[in-house]
Amino acid sequence: MTLTTHATIGALIGAATGNPFLAFGAGLLSHFLVDIIPHGDRELYENHKRKQKHRRAYAFVTIDGIVAVMVIALMTGFQPVQYLNASIAMGVIGSILPDLIIGIHEAFHIKWLRWFHRLHFFFHNMISNRWGDVPLRYALFAQAVFVIVAQRWF
């Protein structure tokens, strides 16, 4: 999923649990579970691995990262939930941490992170390996609808 979707789910988990440690753990777990749903980024990632259409992959990740920060800033900035801030922060951090680790592994080829890379893509490709991926534009539209609707639950 996009970082925006993961971060939104992490914020919701943080608000729901009200406990930073629980929020972090549940946010982390949510990343793997949500990634199981095919979400259209396989081709983008495989092109990146084959060193094709690099710019598109970098632009996608950059835009996603900036939108994720904006969405979380808007979600938290207008809410009187100061007492929940640590939980929301830890929920968001837990929910996006796996993709940070993947990014670090990809950028620096750190061998001892290989197991984590395998674990991540075990979940990420669980369904799409068997039945294929969905078109990226539909996946992005569905995630945008989810992020907008999710604001009502926050």
Residues that bind Zn ion (CB under 5 A): 35, 99
Residue nearest Zn ion, Cβ-based: 99
Q: How far is the CB of 104 from Zn ion (least distance, A)?
A: 13
Q: How far is the CB of 96 from Zn ion (least distance, A)?
A: 8
Nearer to Zn ion, 20 or 42 (CB): 42
Helices in 36-154 by DSSP H: which ranges? 42-49, 54-77, 85-108, 114-124, 128-131, 136-150
Nearer to Zn ion, 64 or 99 (CB): 99
Query: Helix, strand or coil for residue 52?
Result: coil
* Residue reference for tokens 């674990």: 119
Nearer to Zn ion, 27 or 84 (CB): 27
Nearer to Zn ion, 99 or 133 (CB): 99
Q: How far is the CB of 116 from Zn ion (least distance, A)?
A: 11
Query: Helix, strand or coil for residue 125?
Result: coil
Q: How far is the CB of 81 from Zn ion (least distance, A)?
A: 26
Q: How far is the CB of 35 from Zn ion (least distance, A)?
A: 5
Give the contacts of 105 (CB within 8 A, at least 6 positions apart).
113, 114, 116, 117
Burial 27-36 (b: 16+ CB within 10 A, else e): bbebbeebbe
Nearer to Zn ion, 40 or 84 (CB): 40
